[in-house]
Structure 1
Amino acid sequence: MLTMLMICLRLSQRFEVKLGRVNADVCSGGSTSCRVRRPETRLRAIEAFERATRKHRSSTSPSTSRLERTRTMAAGLHICGLVAGVLSWCLQSSCTSSQLWKVRSQAESLSSSHWQFEGLWMSCAATSLGTLQCNKFKTLIGLPVHVQVCRALMMSSLAVGLASVIVSALGLKCSRAGGGSERVKAQFVLSGGVMLILSGVSTLIAVSWYAGRVIRDFHNPLYPGVRFELGTGLYLGWAASGVALLGGAMLCCSYRRSSSSSSSPPARYFSSSKSGQGHGANIYRAPHAASCDDGANAYV
């Protein structure tokens, strides 16, 4: 299509050059109409050629294709980070409500048909007959310090994780938050990524501290109480913290890519403006026809 337009434009230029020379000869012979007006078909052909050239350059420009790839990667990282944030919040909820933060060691148990396990909120005992008895911690001040701190860290991580998911969702392309501004949405994404990282760090500190206390008491020969081992709830907390850190990093990387793609300069194209300024305007504009007194060749 572009090639055919170029051929037609060249043929029309040759024909109009010959027509201009004939008109110039007529003007030199004494005719009063010395200036030949540009036909409307010529303007239409120039506009069509300009649109086709602009479309062709925009589709084949390496900077434009690189910009589109960057935007696609940023959107993909944003969605993956948002999914990771939702998954980490679900794992954190399961970890906080789990009663299997530590399980009684079978080496200390006299019978293998009896199990004892504890969490942040209650301690439970189960038997092989299917009976289960759980007792909530009746006091808060009497609890060990590490249990109280782990409670606060897990609750704060849940709140911050939920807020990060909501803020990251506001930064999606389909949302109307911030008046549809790309810069405001990018700031939403960055804020959600930072909050998700903080949530993962809080969960990691809580489960690691609790696990350290369990391991220290297990290997302490002077510990008078019952010896426990690591439970399933701690592994859920480690998985949740890893997913949260990964999702937060994805959201921060998507903000970096989107900001770099928006700061790249736009592509420049030649255009034929009516003011006649610049080099691009002289490409499609022919010189005016000469007057009768000059006797020069006139071009359309």
Structure 2
Amino acid sequence: MNYRTVIMYTEIGCFVTCVCGWILVCSTLPIQYWTYSEVSRTVITSARFFSNLWKDCTSDSTGKTDCKEFPSLLALQMYIHLCRALIITSIILGLFGDILALVGMKCTKLGGSEIVNARVTVAAGINYLASGFCAMFAFSWYGNKVISEFQDPNHRTQKFELGSALFIGWGGSALLMVGGLLYNIFAVMEGCQSRPLPQP
């Protein structure tokens, strides 16, 4: 197996990794379980409260669920606004990374010379890295807020725990960052290999 084939399969592996991470980050937006809390009223009945970036929900032991969207945009806490913005930015950057990766990969043959392909692949890797960092920062900030409120003895309102969406988001963010980093490393190596030698 020659060097070019190894690079091609590596790019395909990085692309699949980044696309899977991007899909996981996208899937967290409609998931309702960013936080959850369960309150037992009696031995038989209990209520579960859960929320995401868009609404608060409650369900009882009978299976009935009621959701209410946040009533006022301006009344929301600042960290929710910033988490929304960072997640949407991450999704857009990941989409640009997908497009650039498809253009720059060796197996698609959409780019120009080897140097141009390497530069496009580096741009894709940078987009994936930025996407992963934005998502990781948003999920970590949201999770830190939940943990700090849960551990704060002076926090008198209802306390929540980390929901499944945060763990999915952390996994997707890690895949984006790992794939983007590998994209950059191998694209730079390929660019150095393909650089024409100076003429004497």
- Please report the TM-score for the alignment, with normalisation by the length of structure 1: 0.61
1:264 deviation in Å?
7.5
Q: Distance in 1 between matches of 2:146 and 2:107?
A: 47
**AA matched with 2:168:** L
Q: Distance in 2 between matches of 1:139 and 1:259?
A: 51
Task: Say which of 168, 187, 194 aligns to 1:255.
Answer: 187
- Report whether the alignment pairs 1:218 with 2:150: yes
Task: Say which of 117, 120, 127 aligns to 2:53.
Answer: 120
Name structure 1 gaps, 5 residues minimum.
Answer: 1-67, 266-300
- Report whether the alignment pairs 1:110 with 2:41: yes
- Please report the TM-score for the alignment, with normalisation by the length of structure 2: 0.91
Q: Distance in 2 between matches of 1:245 and 1:120?
A: 23
1:176 deviation in Å?
5.0
Alignment of 1:62-211 (within 5 A): 69-104=2-37, 106=38, 109-111=40-42, 113-178=46-111, 180-211=112-143
Larger radius of gyration: 1
Q: Deviations over 1:152-189 (max 9, x none)?
A: 000000000111011111012344544x3221111110
Which runs of 4 or more aligned residues in structure 1 lie more than 3 Å from their structure 2 counterparts after TM superposition?
108-112, 174-178
Q: Distance in 1 between matches of 2:159 and 2:20?
A: 33
Aligned length: 195
**AA matched with 1:114:** A
Aligned residues of 2:8 and 2:107 also touching (Cα < 8 A): no
RMSD between superposed Cα atoms in Å: 1.8
Choose 254-263 or 141-150, whichever is displaced more. Answer: 254-263
Question: What residue in structure 1 maps to residue 163 of structure 2?
Answer: 231
Question: What residue in structure 2 maps to residue 240 of structure 1?
Answer: 172
Q: Distance in 2 between matches of 1:248 and 1:120?
A: 27
Name structure 2 gaps, 5 residues minimum.
Answer: none
1:81 deviation in Å?
1.2
Q: Distance in 1 between matches of 2:131 and 2:179?
A: 11
Q: Distance in 2 between matches of 1:70 and 1:173?
A: 12
